Every structure is written in structure tokens, then in C-alpha cells.
């Protein structure tokens, strides 16, 4: 079965996550719809993407230019806003749907020759109709690290977010690097510190837009904190009982790294 469906292939009990202008259509915190609930609407105007199949039937992603939110008496919200819903498993599903959608929209045309692409029949892939280049969903690996110095942890305020939250340092893994090398490079580039004893803790899929976060701890070796002023506005050492606002451990690997080192942080 292809991972891209036409309207005639959709079953009444299929579940849909609907994106309008790449924002999630949601009503009273509900954003997973049964296809049979949409019977009052005109037929979807483009393809539906299979996100996953399981005991509850298929989960599909549908991207539409229709003003469907108003037709459903719903609203549209950013994917990031769903982080704070109580059911984290549904956010994971929405994140996966968003990543599948981004892959599809980014590869409607071949990046080599410009011809239109077509869905593969056996796996999630788009194939160029002319040169046959294959485009699979791309995952961008990132290393995220909590640097420790004795009982203290290094937390930073990131320039790109207008908030008073402090979190771990992170960066994309570059060509030819191991994740451990990325940790050492990013820490030095962003705050001027040297670290060692880089050790893996856990990973998390992170759909902003399509990342795999690899979480690490590392030990401080030398240097004075010097924020780069580009990625990092401020960085400081904190004791476990004196932490600033940090990410929730329920929704991010950064929060888990902090909580597992300093349990009082929650």
C-alpha cells in the first residue's frame, strides 16, 4: 500500500490530523478527527498521507487550502502550542504527521531535474518521474547537552526565543562529526568552555521541523562562560535547588536531562 492515498481509498474510521496553512485544525483540544466526521465538507482537494497504521486504524495527514477550520467550528494553532496539552502521546502523533507533511511538500518536484515526483508503492518515498531519484523523509540529528561542574549545571538562555527560560546547549551534527564531537564543538562555540567525558543519556524525536535530539551529559574542564551573543544571550552555572525556569521533563529531552541530574527541578 502506498503511503499516499486518494480520497477513494480513505475509510470512514480513518483518523485525520488536518493542517490548514501548515497549522493544526483543533477544537477544544481535539485535533485528531474521524474521516466520517467530515462528511459535511466537500471532498479533500489533494492527497492524504499515511502517518501510521495500528490497532485504531490508519492515521492520516491532510494539508488543505480550504477554510476548513471555520467549517468545523474550530481554530488553527501552531504545532508547538500542542506541547502543553495533557496527552503527550497525541502531540507525538501530530509531530510525526507534521514531519510527513513537510517531507511531502518539500519534494513534490525533483531537486535534480525538476520533474514531478510520484509516490512509491512499497514504502514512504517519492520517486522522480524522469531521473528516478528517490526522496525519503529526512531526519536532522542534533546533539543536546547538559554540562555539569560538580553539583552545578550550565544552563543558557537562547537568543531565538523571547522568553526567560533557560535550557541546555544544542546544535546540529555536521558532516563528518560524531555526536560527541558535536557536543564539544557546540559548547566551545556557544559559551567558550571545554568539556570532556561526553556520555549519552537518551534521545527524542523533535518535529521542529524534523529533528532527532540525542541527549548527553558532559563534564566541565576549563574556560570562563562567554556567550557568543548570536545563539546564546546568557549562560550561567546553577545549583539544583536554585534553577531558573527550565523546560518541562514531560515534553522535552532537555527537561529530562535537567530533572535526572537535579531531581528537585521536576
Domain ranges in the chain are 4-106, 140-265
Average pLDDT in the chain: 91
Q: What is the mean pLDDT of residues 6-33?
A: 90
Strand duo 211-222 + 140-149: pairing = parallel
Among 227, 117, 108, 213, residue whose Cα is nearest residue 171 = 213
Enter the C-alpha cell of residue 19. Answer: 493542517
Domain 4-106 in this protein, CATH class: alpha beta
Higher pLDDT, 21 or 139: 139
Q: How confident is the model at residue 3 (pLDDT cuts 50, 70, 90)?
A: confident
pTM for the full predicted model: 0.87
Q: What is the pLDDT of residue 45?
A: 64
DSSP 107-125: TSB-TTT-PBEEE-SSSS-
- Show the cell assigned to 114: 525538476
How many whole angstroms separate alpha carbon 248 and alpha carbon 167? 10
Q: Which contiguous run of DSSP H or E holds residue 154? A: strand 152-158
CATH for the 140-265 domain, from 3.40.50.970, 3.90.79.10, 3.30.420.10, 3.40.640.10: 3.90.79.10
> All 3 cell numbers of residue 84?
502543553
CATH topology match: 4-106 vs 140-265: yes
Amino acid at each position: 500500500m502506498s503511503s499516499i492515498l486518494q480520497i477513494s481509498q480513505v475509510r470512514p474510521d480513518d483518523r485525520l490530523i488536518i493542517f490548514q496553512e501548515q497549522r493544526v485544525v483543533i477544537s477544544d483540544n481535539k485535533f485528531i478527527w474521524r474521516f466520517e466526521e467530515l462528511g459535511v465538507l466537500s471532498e479533500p482537494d489533494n492527497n492524504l498521507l499515511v502517518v501510521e497504521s495500528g490497532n485504531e486504524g490508519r492515521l492520516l495527514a491532510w494539508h488543505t487550502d480550504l477554510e476548513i477550520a471555520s467549517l468545523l467550528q474550530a481554530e488553527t494553532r501552531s504545532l508547538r502550542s500542542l506541547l502543553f496539552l495533557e496527552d503527550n502521546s497525541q502531540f507525538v502523533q501530530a509531530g510525526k504527521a507534521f514531519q510527513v507533511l513537510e517531507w511531502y511538500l518539500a519534494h513534490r518536484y525533483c531537486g535534480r531535474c525538476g520533474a514531478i515526483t510520484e509516490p512509491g508503492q512499497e514504502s514512504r518515498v517519492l520517486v522522480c518521474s524522469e531521473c528516478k531519484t528517490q526522496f525519503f523523509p529526512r531526519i536532522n540529528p542534533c546533539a543536546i547537552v547538559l554540562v555539569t561542574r560538580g553539583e552545578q549545571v550550565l544552563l543558557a538562555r537562547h537568543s531565538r526565543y523571547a522568553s526567560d527560560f533557560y535550557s541546555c546547549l544544542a546544535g546540529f551534527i555536521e558532516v563528518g562529526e560524531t555526536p560527541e564531537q558535536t557536543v564539544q564543538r557546540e559548547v566551545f562555540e556557544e559559551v567558550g568552555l571545554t568539556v570532556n567525558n561526553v556520555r549519552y543519556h537518551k534521545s527524542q524525536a523533535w518535529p521542529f521541523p524534523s529533528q532527532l535530539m540525542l541527549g548527553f551529559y558532559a563534564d566541565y574542564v576549563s574556560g570562563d562562560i562567554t556567550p557568543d551573543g548570536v545563539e546564546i544571550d546568557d549562560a550561567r552555572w546553577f545549583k539544583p535547588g536554585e534553577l531558573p525556569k527550565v523546560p518541562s521533563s514531560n515534553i522535552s529531552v532537555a527537561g529530562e536531562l535537567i530533572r535526572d541530574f537535579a531531581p528537585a527541578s521536576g
